[in-house]
Amino acid sequence: MERGRAREAAVPPSGAARVPAQTRVEGDPFEASVREASAVREASAVREPSAVREGSAVREGSARGEHTHSEPPAPRVRRHSVRGQILEALRAALVDGELVPGEVYSAVVLGERFGVSATPVREAMQRLASEGAVEVVPNRGFRVTARTPGELAELAEVRALIEVPVMLRLARTVPAARWAELRPLAEATTQAAAVGDRAGYAESDRAFHRAVLALAGNRQLLQVAEDLHRRSQWPLTAAPVARRAELVADAAEHLALLDALTAQDLAVVQALVREHFTGSAL
């Protein structure tokens, strides 16, 4: 679980396209979450891990008198608005550790790397600032937030307070056949983990949790939980990225949770969710 592009049309590719995450749910929340998760699974099937995809492509860049740092390579972008594509590319770079906590990044320099103007980059960074991933540095750019272990522990506590009661209620009321529909989503997290695709894992992880919580039929709950989940996936200060083995172990807990929910084993559901949040890989 948590153990967490284009000049108008396309930027020169350096990896497989990512499926933009959706925080606003249209129609039935559960059906929307399952449809979105299916798209994530299809993208994950062709996505390569960042280390393989980018290799040594991370180069040193400077921001015209600003702090010099390594800029993330520009991923492929295929659809939706330029700002939306850049936002997803930046989110993936955050999860992959390509945007380093504490470093300042210029919208102009990042725009050059993505092949777009600074405007969509700046707009995407403003969105990330509202999510707590970066902070605005006047006349310089955006500094990646330095997350501390204490802050992650606080996020885990809040997530548990929200999600544990909901999952216990769902375990009592949702039929086994409905839980079986979510097994492909859980398996998608294991597939991403198996190849060490951290950004792909983060997407599929959120998709799984979103589909589970969507069964409660509460849109406000989905929005709050999605925001907390995403904030928990931003990297720690100078922390090593999650190893493949950690991702695999984390992903296995999704399948274990589904088994416990299906069996209506409330004690195991509660223990799994709490342990999952406190010892997450992302």
How would you write the pLDDT of the chain (282 residues) with one tens digit per residue?
444 433 333 333 333 334 333 333 345 655 655 555 555 444 444 333 333 233 333 333 333 334 434 455 454 444 458 888 999 999 988 888 889 899 999 999 999 988 999 999 999 999 999 888 999 999 899 999 888 888 888 999 999 999 999 999 999 999 999 999 999 999 999 999 999 888 899 999 999 999 999 999 999 999 999 999 988 887 766 555 567 888 899 999 999 999 999 999 999 999 999 888 876 655
Helices (H) and strands (E) in the chain, counts: 12, 5
Q: Among 277, 279, 171, 168, which residue's Cα sits nearest to residue 229?
A: 277
Contacts of 215 (CB under 8 A, 6+ apart): 30, 170, 174, 178
Task: Judge contact between 10 and 187, C-beta under 8 A.
Answer: no
- Long-range contacts of the stretch 267-272 (C-beta < 8 A, 24+): 269/167, 269/168, 269/171, 270/164, 270/167, 270/168
Report field, pTM of the whole predicted structure over 0.85: no
In 10 A of CB 164, how many CB atoms? Answer: 17
- Written as one letter, the residue type at 117 is S
